[in-house]
Amino acid sequence: MSIHRIQTEPIDGQKPGTSGLRKKTRIFMGPHYLENFIQAIFDGIGGAQGKTFVLGGDGRYFNDRAAQVMLRMAAANGAKKVIVGQNAILSTPAASNLIRLRQTDGGVILSASHNPGGPDEDFGVKFNTPNGGPAPEGVTAKIYEATKTIREYSILDAQDVDLSTVGTTKLGEMEVEVVDPVADYQALMEKLFDFDKIRDLFASGFRIRFDAMHAVTGPYASAILEGALGAPSGSVVNAVPSPDFGGGHPDPNPIWAKDLVDRMMADDAPDFGAASDGDGDRNMILGKGVYVTPSDSLAVLAAQARLAPAYKDGLKGVARSMPTSRAVDRVAASLGIDCYETPTGWKFFGNLLDAGRATICGEESAGTGSDHVREKDGLWAVLFWLNILAETRKSVAELMADHWRNFGRNYYSRHDYEAVDATAAEGLMQALREKLAELPGTTHAGRTVEAADEFAYDDPVDGSRSEGQGVRVSFEGGGRIVFRLSGTGTEGATLRVYLEDVEEDPARMDAETDTALAPMIAAANELAGISERTGRSGPDVRT
């Protein structure tokens, strides 16, 4: 085996976003593209010499080939060891756990999360640091700088490593350990939740439908829900990971998981429904006849946390991304704990978790998690809900009704305008920025603006500042609209409009979400001129 040092040149556009670098799969498959970025990761973290890394992915198209490239490059760059999931499979939360459990120097996760997979769809690579979380901005900045100055990369001339068999082998001088992707993660879940209580729940006839969406969580859900907890066989559907996610879109929301939603709204629906995404870090929660928004799910988990063994002593604090509804803020106030508002991107929660300031965190985009790892965790959220249901023996609908009576209801929805012309999207945002100062006191769709700004975040742990994180417009009475451009797409720009309003009268908490939010929807269009600037008559996706 010999090391080749391949001459190359910088490739434009390799700046990592909130969750690594995401591009169309064929771009990653192009000459030097993947290799340049992996070398930039190694260079950006000060080299790979003598280091140990975790490697895994969500099984999407090109995952297997990219894993072999990463292994050969790690060996050529002097890495001591790579711990890789069997068949290059690891859910993102499982990878985070493995990084922390083995105290490695970080890990490379091959995933584009909830984006579709296939030769004409999306692929992604991100680096997680030794705390198990996504690389913070200081690290991604160094990686990006390395992509702009790269002149060569190192790669070992070797045959593929057999990743199908658990065990240890050598690749040049580097050790490669292939591990069961589920075992360590399942052991962690057994420490966090009362598996005996959940087993009793299923033994009582409780029915669940978990849609793995042909993605990475399938093996985890099958092993834990059906295997360890005794859910009836067939409770987990679409459980085999597929390179193109069965031709679907592995995003757990009412649009892309419509089959699950339809099943849960049927007269003979199971008691509980859930789904997870491409790499296993997101979740969707449903009960019989009820959909739980991610924002409400976060609030319920915080309010009921003491029912799970891991959180029986209470929470140190909670945190949410800025666009997430303020439902959890009300819970935090009731509990007398801190509630932090951060930019979008799980890496912003890392400092709070590491510093012991927060225990549970969440994003409106179907991501919730806690200090057990440094990523959001879809199956963790499902098990948390099951633990609560097992303790209370209430239905999801009853739990939600109780929660709203206690804390008020934050009606909430996100409208996505996808693949919008980037210039038009930037123009819309700039026009909003220019009139922020004059908005307070003005009335739109019958609602009066209380405050308006562009969100900036000062990290309370390390003092870093993140600006330009989205435009916020707050209304008297608790309504709020947030406008921001997403960094997770691969084409054009995605305009996201987050709509929220508060209802405290129990007699008015059963309205349809679109009805309750009608004033906010109208105000958003009036404020931003969405139709005129984007040419769209409505959003592509409502969640």
Give pLDDT, residue 260.
Answer: 97
Angle at 15 (CA atoms; ends 14, 17), nearest 5 degrees: 125
Residue 541, pLDDT score: 83
The three-state secondary structure class of 393 is: coil
The owner of tokens 């790979």 is: 48
User: CA–CA separation, 369 vs 191, rounded Å?
Assistant: 15
Q: Are the beta carbons of 497 and 541 closer than 8 angstroms?
A: no
Return the pLDDT at 82: 98
46's CB contacts (< 8 A; 6+ apart) are: none
User: What is the pLDDT, as a whole number, of residue 486?
Assistant: 81
Q: Dump pLDDT digits (tens) for 323-345.
A: 999 999 999 999 999 999 999 88
Of 177-181, 213-217, 249-253, 282-286, the least confident: 249-253
3-state class of 268 per DSSP? coil
Residue 374, amino acid:
R
What is the band of 17 on the pLDDT scale with cuts at 50, 70, 90?
confident
Question: Structure tokens of 157?
Answer: 């001339």
Q: Does the structure show a pLDDT above 70 at 536?
A: yes
**What whole-number percentage of the chain has pLDDT above 70?**
99
Tokens of 36: 């340049």
Q: Which of 19, 91, 96, 113 is catalytic?
A: 113
- The tokens for 183 are 């075992």
Strands (E), 352-440: 360-363, 367-370, 409-420
Per-residue pLDDT tens over the stretch 84-131: 999 999 999 999 999 999 999 999 999 999 999 999 999 999 999 999
Cβ contacts of residue 204 below 8 Å, gap of 6+? Answer: none
Map tokens 């771009």 to a residue: 27
Q: Terminus-to-terminus CA distance in the chain, angstroms?
A: 52
Q: Strands 152-157 and 122-128, how do they pair?
A: unpaired
State how far the Cα of 240 lies from the Cα of 232, in Å rounded to an integer.
Answer: 17
CA angle, corner 490, sides to 488 and 492, nearest 5? Answer: 105
Helix orientation angle between 378-392 and 294-303, rounded to the nearest 10 degrees: 50
From CA 361, how far away is CA 256, in angstroms rounded? 24
Evaluate whether 113 touches 278 at the Cβ level (below 8 Å): yes
Say which range, 26-40, 173-187, 464-478, has the weakest mean pLDDT. 464-478
The DSSP secondary structure of 358-381, one letter per residue, reads -SEEEETTTEEEETTSSS--HHHH
Looking at the chain, the number of H-run helices and the number of E-run strands are: 18, 27
Task: Please give the Cα distance from 287 to 265 (Å, whole number).
Answer: 8
Reported residue count of the chain is 543
The pLDDT tens digits for 406-416 are 999 999 999 99
**Confidence bin at 487 (pLDDT 50/70/90):** low
Contact 271, 399 (CB under 8 A): no
Is residue 2 part of the annotated active site? The answer reads no
Count Cβ atoms below 10 Å from residue 165 Cβ, excluding itself: 9
Instruction: Give the pLDDT confidence of 3-14 residue by residue, as tens digits.
Output: 999 999 999 999
493-529 in b/e form (b: 16+ CB < 10 A) is bbbbbbbbbbbeeeeebeeeeeebbbbbbebbbebbe
Structure tokens at 484: 């921001």
What per-residue confidence (pLDDT) applies to 176? 98
* Residue 12 pLDDT: 96
Distance of CA 278 to the CA centre of its chain: 10
Q: Rounded to whole angstroms, how far apart are CA atoms 142 and 9?
A: 17
Contacts of 310 (CB under 8 A, 6+ apart): 191, 192, 193, 370, 372
pLDDT band at 198 (very low <50, low <70, confident <90, very high): very high
Hunting for tokens 């009576």 — which residue is that?
405
Q: What is the pLDDT of residue 384?
A: 98
User: 145: which residues sit within 8 A by CB, 6+ positions away?
Assistant: 44
Residue type, 129: T
The β-bridge relationship of strands 283-287 and 272-276 is antiparallel
Contact 499, 516 (CB under 8 A): no
Query: Domains, the chain, ranges and CATH?
Result: 2-180 (3.40.120.10), 185-407 (3.40.120.10), 409-542 (3.30.310.50)
Residue 433 to residue 426: CA distance in whole angstroms: 11
Interval 268-287 mean pLDDT: 97
Whether residue 489 has pLDDT greater than 60:
no
Instruction: Read off the pLDDT of residues 434-463 as tens digits, 9 standing for 90 and up.
Output: 999 999 999 999 999 999 999 999 999 989
Instruction: Output the CA angle 370-373-377, nearest 5 degrees.
Output: 65
Q: Provide the pLDDT for residue 345.
A: 82
Q: Cα separation of 348 and 212, whole Å?
A: 27
Angle at 291 between CA 286 and CA 294, to 5 degrees: 90
Q: Label residue 490 by pLDDT band (50, 70, 90).
A: low
- Read off the pLDDT of each residue in 501-509 and give the average, rounded to a whole number: 92
User: For the chain, what percent of residues have pLDDT higher than 90?
Assistant: 92
Look at residue 489 and give its three-state secondary structure: coil
**15 Rama sector, left if φ>0, alpha if ψ -120 to 50, beta otherwise:** beta
Pick from 128-142, 280-294, 489-503: least confident: 489-503
pLDDT digits (tens, 9 = 90+) for 132-170: 999 988 899 999 999 999 999 999 999 999 999 999 999
Where does 25-96 show beta strands of DSSP type E? 52-57, 81-89
Q: Map 119-174 to HEC letters.
A: CCCEEEEEEECCCCCECCHHHHHHHHHHHHHCCEEEEEECCCCCCCCCEEEEECCE
In DSSP terms, 154 is beta-bridged to: 5
